[in-house]
Amino acid sequence: MFIRDIIGQQTVKEHILRLIQENRLPHALMLWGNEGVGKLPLAIAMARYLLCSDKQDNDACGACLSCKQMAKLIHPDLHFVFPIVKNSTEPKCDDFLEEWREMLLEHAYFNYEQWIDKIGEGKQGQIYAAESDEIIRKLSYKSFQGDCKVMIIWLPEKMNVVCANKLLKLLEEPPEKTYFILVSEQPEQLLPTIVSRTQMVHVPCIAFDDMEAVVGTELARVANGNYVKALTMQQQTGSSKPHFELYRKLMLAVVMIQLPQLKAWAEQLHESGREEIKLFLQYAQHITRECFMMHFGLPAINYLEPHEQAFAAKFINYLNANNIEFITHTFAKAYEDIEQNGNGKIVLFDMGLQLMTKMKL
């Protein structure tokens, strides 16, 4: 991954290049922004440029030994930390390094759910306490080839508290010639003391023109700046249909006040696993918002897929200014309860009951 391979983000790329070329790069940088905007690819391209032994004005050379190693993600001075699933008493990222490299080399634009599906479908990912000792061990060595070491931490908000506290100490007293690049989607979930010790760089949604040049007008409009979403829709037509069908069944049970159907629906979704429930609840918030926006008759700000639009045309009669906030909050609260290991069947059934109180014509 080179800097030139990043889709759009010209202002951010120029800013990072300037920091490196003027020797003003801080020891800890946080790239933050929404899913699918290119933060992780940008971090890898940045690491390649830092480790390149023959830097060009705007990118790594691609020909030196470091660049050849980076092409396979096997550079000895590049280290990764990322969420994993528990496969032992002390799970570490190196246990999944082969799968991580494979995923990145296949396509560097992916999201948390896609990564967790690859290594442990249905489980929750975390950066476990044992990783803190691995970080300290790896960074205690001198750089093998270049002038520096680079550690990329993807989704640091998934860190175990023990690991986060040890990372804080490293950021307070960083090892010599070491750069931390944190890649976050929810920096507000990190320890404020960690955030305060990084220089934050916001990576915005990909501009429409940049997205359109890669995936075409229709996908660029629906993806709304998220290249991961555009890729998913491009590779798998109607990718949201399973979640859409679940949403349609839920809302039918809710508006018709069908308690047995609601109970069966909650049990069905519960069987699919905690991560799938969270994905559905995220989708439910998205499609509810899009259905509500149809009230305003502005297609330019509506991002429904074709199979969702026919449903939305009728469903909008059940949404209004008096209930939209309650409905979206109910989905968000259910997501929070599931994330905190609440019982899926109980959380989902209770969510449906609450929706019944507001979903009326």
pLDDT given at position 223: 83
Domain check: are 79 and 129 in the same one? yes
Domain for residue 218, yes or no? no
Domain for residue 88, yes or no? yes
- The domain total for the chain is 2
In the listed set 159, 187, 204, which residue is the last one of a domain according to the structure? 204
User: Which range marks the domain in which residue 186 is found?
Assistant: 3-204
Say which CATH number the domain at 304 has.
1.20.272
> How far is it, in rounded angstroms, from Cα 93 to Cα 82?
7
Domain check: are 171 and 254 in the same one? no
pLDDT given at position 340: 86
Domain check: are 275 and 344 in the same one? yes
Domain check: are 253 and 330 in the same one? yes
pLDDT given at position 238: 46
pLDDT given at position 25: 93
Domain check: are 119 and 200 in the same one? yes
Domain check: are 143 and 23 in the same one? yes
For residues 183 and 140, the model is more confident at 183
pLDDT tens sequence across 245-284: 999 999 999 999 999 999 999 999 998 888 789 889 988 9
Domain for residue 227, yes or no? no
Mean local confidence (pLDDT), 38-47: 96
Say which CATH number the domain at 184 has.
3.40.50.300
Mean local confidence (pLDDT), 72-97: 91
Mean local confidence (pLDDT), 133-155: 89
pLDDT at 239 over 70: no
pLDDT tens sequence across 197-218: 999 999 999 999 999 898 888 7
Domain check: are 345 and 277 in the same one? yes
pLDDT given at position 100: 96
Share of the chain above pLDDT 90, in %: 60
Task: Tell me the pTM.
Answer: 0.73
pLDDT at 85 over 60: yes
In the listed set 204, 230, 256, which residue is the last one of a domain according to the structure? 204
Domain for residue 93, yes or no? yes
For residues 8 and 313, the model is more confident at 8
pLDDT given at position 240: 60
pLDDT given at position 300: 60
Domain check: are 185 and 243 in the same one? no
Domain check: are 182 and 255 in the same one? no
pLDDT tens sequence across 321-341: 889 999 999 999 999 999 888
Domain for residue 233, yes or no? no
Share of the chain above pLDDT 70, in %: 95
For residues 126 and 296, the model is more confident at 126
Domain for residue 361, yes or no? no
Domain for residue 145, yes or no? yes
Average pLDDT of every residue of the chain: 89
Mean local confidence (pLDDT), 66-77: 94
Mean local confidence (pLDDT), 115-144: 85
Domain check: are 287 and 189 in the same one? no
Domain check: are 108 and 244 in the same one? no
In the listed set 204, 229, 252, which residue is the last one of a domain according to the structure? 204
Domain check: are 242 and 200 in the same one? no
Mean local confidence (pLDDT), 36-42: 96
Domain for residue 215, yes or no? no
pLDDT given at position 74: 94
